[in-house]
Structure 1
């Protein structure tokens, strides 16, 4: 398994694909991340065409167990970010 692509490498690849400079590509990437984070934090969902859908899901209060002590405790309700992979991406990966 190869190492994950770093942000610098991603910005360089996006800049090359866009035919733009790295500064513009970096700004575009930061803007997309900001918009997705803001929308998901507000309880919405964002579909990234060809990649998938990012959504926030509420989890209710539940009982959890501390594996070190075996103690059962109540964990407060919280939110979890989910990413559903698009079929197009699955098809590309699976050939």
Structure 2
């Protein structure tokens, strides 16, 4: 098991090798994918990456939370959170 996550530079290098292109093109492709996902999820949509998973934005309602330092109950306003559901194909490849 890897001890450190793959960096962007390592990902760009691996992508360039897999695509058979230079690092500049691979970096541009990675940046474009990132921008598309960000724009779609920010607008309330979802993006499915085949064999990897689904990224979506979910609204959380207003709720009561506790300050761990003081124990005081505080009302936290409604907000949004980004969720990622991992695809079954990726889970199966990791587990078997």
TM bucket by the smaller chain? over 0.9
Q: Which runs of 4+ in 1 moved over 6 A?
A: none
Query: What pairs up with 1:13-24 in 2 under 5 angstroms?
Result: 13-24=14-25
Alignment partner, residue 70 of structure 1: 71
Alignment partner, residue 29 of structure 2: 28
Alignment partner, residue 91 of structure 1: 92
Alignment partner, residue 6 of structure 1: 7
- Is 2:80 aligned against 1:79? yes
Give the distance between the partners of 2:29 and 2:51, measured in 1 at CA.
17
Report how many aligned residue pairs link the two structures. 95
TM-score for both structures, normalised by structure 2: 0.97
Give the drift of 1:2.
1.4
Other structure's SS at 1:27 match: helix
String of CA shifts for 1:61-89, please: whole Å, max 9, x gaps: 00000001101000000001000000000
